[in-house]
Structure 1
Amino acid sequence: MSLWDKLKKIFKKRKQDVLVPDMTEKLAKAEETEKNKPIIVRKQIYVPCPQMTKKEYKKKMQEDGNWMPGWEAIDEELTQLYEEQKPERLDMTLLSKVSRGSGKQLDGYSFYTSVNGYKHLISYGMSELYAKEEAYGQEKSKWGYEMTMKLAQEQDAMWATNLMANLARYTFTKEEALKVGMLISGDGTPLKPHINSKITALLVVEDEELPPLNTLNGKVLFLQLVGITQKESEWLKQNPDQTESFIEQMKADNPMLVTDLNREEDCSIIETLQNTLKEESVSSEIE
């Protein structure tokens, strides 16, 4: 089955999570009464594709050899969410200029700190970051997405860049892209090597804080990687049609789907879904 089969509805207008500074007190009170809800306010927003003709695009390319329209568009999107916060950056192109935009590895990563208590990691390189005449006006920007991950703030997060690099390498070599709802089951070992952790697999979901982005090089989705346990992974393999319901159940206690390597095995989500399936089966038999 094609990895893009279920993406037909993905490019719709969506809500973006935007912090509102003048509501700090109200949000703090809301946090006290509803601890499981993220401290954010929804705002409807749609960003149209930047206006620039192909002739103007080529002219800017010639005038500025360092112009990176795709990278700049991603940074602007993140500024909408994190305002003046300066991210921690890991620029892989500084290690090897030959690899810049080569499509053989990711070009960089940014870490932001969310007021909701997690680190927000974003990749650069699955989409077309650089100015290329053939990239102008494409429907999707290279692979059409960047990867994101939300990680427990108190934990080391550099391991996640290696994880993203491996996923990118797989896509570049096998030409198989990530998609919403995909299960990456792994080999049963922890996502972070050499530690004792129950988190061994990944689910791919839409990053609800970063809506689809229109760039001069095409559209970019932000696909969030969510860590799950081996038992959860095995259950989803057997019940792939329950993936969306599983994600919604996860959000009940973890609304932003933060990956916490210290999370213990919890069968409550699976049990809830199994009970729902049984009830639906009984209702169907009665009808």
Structure 2
Amino acid sequence: MNTRAEKIAIVTGASSGIGKATAVALFANGWHVVFAGRRLERLEQAIVAATEAHLDQAGETAPLPRALAVQTDVTSEESVRNLFARTHSSFGRLDLLFNNAGISGQEVPVEDLSIEVWRSVIDTNLTGMFLCIQEAVRLMKHQTPRGGRIINNGSISAQVPRRNSIAYTATKHAVTGLTKSIALDCRDFDIACGQIDVGRIDSEIGAGASSATANPSSIPKLDTQLAAQAVLQMANLPIEANMLFTTLLPTKMPFVGRG
């Protein structure tokens, strides 16, 4: 039986980038973490890194949290249901979903974007997030103590687009709608929902974005650890408080005004 002091998190897209860094940071902070992603081997490698980070941060005498790797395709309803069912059977509750899994698609002019790529980005970035939200809410509404927190990974493309990224931008704008809807619809059930919008970051999904600005070499990339620490700050708020939106970006990124 879990107590409120034991905190259980699911992180999707936990095999690399912001997802991996966040899952590691949560585990090092004492959370029990379910690492979800398509590549099981990389999830298991992430758990090894998380264990090392916890030992470095808490010391060898501190209790080691539990970690679980679950191979998951967020575009599959069955796969998502399996993820949450395994989480519930293993830990008995869920306190945090970091809804992070996503793909960037192709950076091409709108008239050249194939319908296959469009659907793939929609299925992963939007429908996948929706499916995970559904299952998280089902658990959080009916567990004791009731409630929990959902944090959606938006990207600054949820606010302004980069060039030739209509599919990615459309999904990320839609993620903002998901965040606002869940924050409204679920607050009476002690479920908080917030969103982090991260700018230029050193991760796999951001690797293809270097052509988005006139002088990309002049804009530094943020380390994924900074994004992870921002998510950790949101996650550790008392459930009575919610950080609805937060934006993290390099100071010299051309984002505000004309750049």
Regarding TM over 0.5, the answer is no
Normalising by structure 1, we get a TM-score of 0.26
Structure with the higher helix share, 1 or 2:
2
Greater share of residues in strand: 1
